[in-house]
Amino acid sequence: MVSKDSSAGPSDTVEQAMNRVLQAEREAEQAIADCESEARQIVQAAQQRVKRIADRTDERITLIQLRLAQKIKAHIDALERADRSAQHEPSAYDLDEAGLATVVQEVAAELTANRHSPGGGREKSDGE
């Protein structure tokens, strides 16, 4: 025998369907909230990683700058030492009259001792 209680049938079915829709909506909202929370965690982790990379990069740049500054200072110190040393050593350009006369005589002797030109020129005699 079939029950003739018509008030329980269609109304219960619509109510159950509405409840299922509302439950699905709640589950969807929860899934969205979970995804948003996970996305925030991913973004936060990425930001922390970026900060660590930037900090390491800054440390490396600072270290490189310090090393270069030390090398530059060492080069400057070496140049200053070489300059001071050169200032204390006698120079070929710092000749007195006697030294200059000696250099001139040596150059003149060198020039007159080798009278052949590389191009096959003739030797000069004393009478020419």
Model confidence, pTM: 0.47
Q: Say whether pLDDT at 94 is over 50.
A: yes
Residue-wise pLDDT for 21-46, tens only, equals: 999 999 999 999 999 999 999 999 99
The Cα–Cα gap between 109 and 120 comes to: 20
Based on the number of CB atoms within 10 Å of its own CB, is 71 exposed (0-12), middle (13-18) or buried (19 or more)?
A: exposed
Question: pLDDT digits over 7-19, tens only?
Answer: 556 778 999 999 9
**What is the spatial distance between Cα 30 and Cα 38, in angstroms, rounded to a whole number?**
12
Strand spans (E) along 3-128? none
Would you state the pLDDT for residue 10?
74
- How many residues are given for the chain? 128
Does residue 103 carry a pLDDT above 90?
Answer: no
User: Which pLDDT does position 121 carry in this prediction?
Assistant: 47
pLDDT (tens digit, 9 = 90+) per residue, 38-91?
999 999 999 999 999 999 999 999 999 999 999 999 999 999 999 888 787 766
On whether the CB atoms of residues 126 and 118 are closer than 8 A, the answer is: no
H helix and E strand count, the chain: 2, 0
